[in-house]
Amino acid sequence: FLLSLKLENETNGKLRKQICQVVLDHFEKQYTRELGDIWTSVRDVLTYPLCWQYAVLLNKFSLSTELENTLSVRGYHPTFQGPLPYLPASLKCYIRRTPGRFPAQKHQSGKLKEYYLLNAASLLPVLALEVKDGEDVLDLCAAPGGKSVAILQCASPGQFHCNEYDDLRSRWLKQTIESFIPDPLIKLITVSKLDGRQIGDLKPELYDKVLVDAPCSNDRSWLFSSDIQQATLRLLQRKELSSLQFQLLRSAIKALRPGGSLVYSTCTLSKAENSDVINLILNSCHNVIPVDISAMAKAVSQEFTFLSGMQQHELLVLPEKGRAWGPMYVAKFKKMKSI
């Protein structure tokens, strides 16, 4: 999940972004209540961008051995090693322990980028989705496109439908796909601007796999809101997000074929937008069952810190120094076949 470029702080001593006190005060109350003592160390990472880390996702459609060598020389190592339940050899992502950001590549028309910079935790929903060649896939809230690009590093879907309702973000999504995916393959990707809440009715039982990387309170970027009025409004509207997330999930379940899998993810620590939404879905939609993703979490526990006490079908990545990934919540369930 690409972090907003405006908020990124290079380690070369550029002027630090100001923390938005209104947001911090709100988070302080909520997350002290929900996370207890853990919140203090998480807050120290979220409020100090100089310790943030960035992963480098390689683009298999524009492979460069030279790039892999450069990463190695600079102290980067593969993010995912070990016995993961699903790890295609074509998915290559590199990280290093020290903070800082590899130089970004600019969009050039007609030229594919070699890599994508992202928060390494945002690849966990893609690994949980387990896309295989030929499957029909829906990325319901796809902008800015990092997870769509990652899915295409893993497999070649039959149909790949990337949807983004917001006009500006939809343009960003199209540009990302053009920057990473070669022409013949682009023709197999549908990019739409539909209301995600209606897709289930418009395209019932059409997909084998659905990713709902839902609109959420983006903890990292909200903490650096430069517009206090906008930040205050966001906090007031925050309670409405869980209702939208629930509606998006209901729609995604309708769009899913019986036997298909759905992964839900957010980049917030908020229980109301994470576990509470999933529990509501599992209690109200009797045609879905939770899927255990604890084996995936265990396999990547060297690189990611997880909140303990979560249920087996969910995980929450907590940022900490030296492993400043997340927040990232992931949950998975399956649609049952009709009898």
| Binding positions | 141-147, 164, 195, 213
> Would the pLDDT of 206 be above 50?
yes
Length of the chain in terms of residues written? 339
Structure tokens at 70: 């450069």
Task: With CA atoms as reference, report the closest residue to 267 among 215, 195, 196.
Answer: 215
Q: Confirm if 245 and 195 have CB atoms less than 8 A apart.
A: no
Assigned domain for 203 exists: yes
Each residue's pLDDT tens digit, 96-139: 989 988 999 988 888 999 999 999 999 999 999 999 999 999 99
In percent, how much of the chain has pLDDT > 90? 87
pLDDT (average), residues 157-165: 96
In percent, how much of the chain has pLDDT > 70? 95
Please tell me the distance from the alpha carbon of residue 7 to that of residue 54, in angstroms, as a whole number.
13
Catalytic residue among 51, 162, 267, 285: 267
Residue 10: the pLDDT is 40
Each residue's pLDDT tens digit, 287-296: 999 999 999 9
Assigned domain for 11 exists: no
Assigned domain for 278 exists: yes
* β pairing state of 160-163 and 189-192: parallel
Number of domain units in the chain: 1
| Binding positions for S-adenosyl-L-methionine | 141-147, 164, 195, 213
Each residue's pLDDT tens digit, 56-73: 999 999 988 899 999 999
Q: Confirm if 209 and 260 have CB atoms less than 8 A apart.
A: yes
Assigned domain for 7 exists: no
Host H or E run for residue 29: helix 21-35
Residue 11: the pLDDT is 38
Domain that holds residue 326: 21-103+112-335
The CATH number assigned to the domain holding 68 equals: 3.40.50.150
Buried b (16+ CB within 10 A) or exposed e, 301-334: eebbbbbeebeebbbbbbbbeebbbbbbbbbbbb
Residue 339: the pLDDT is 60
pTM of the model: 0.94
pLDDT range class, residue 2, cuts 50, 70, 90: very low
Please tell me the distance from the alpha carbon of residue 104 to that of residue 165, in angstroms, as a whole number.
26
Q: Is there a catalytic annotation at residue 267?
A: yes
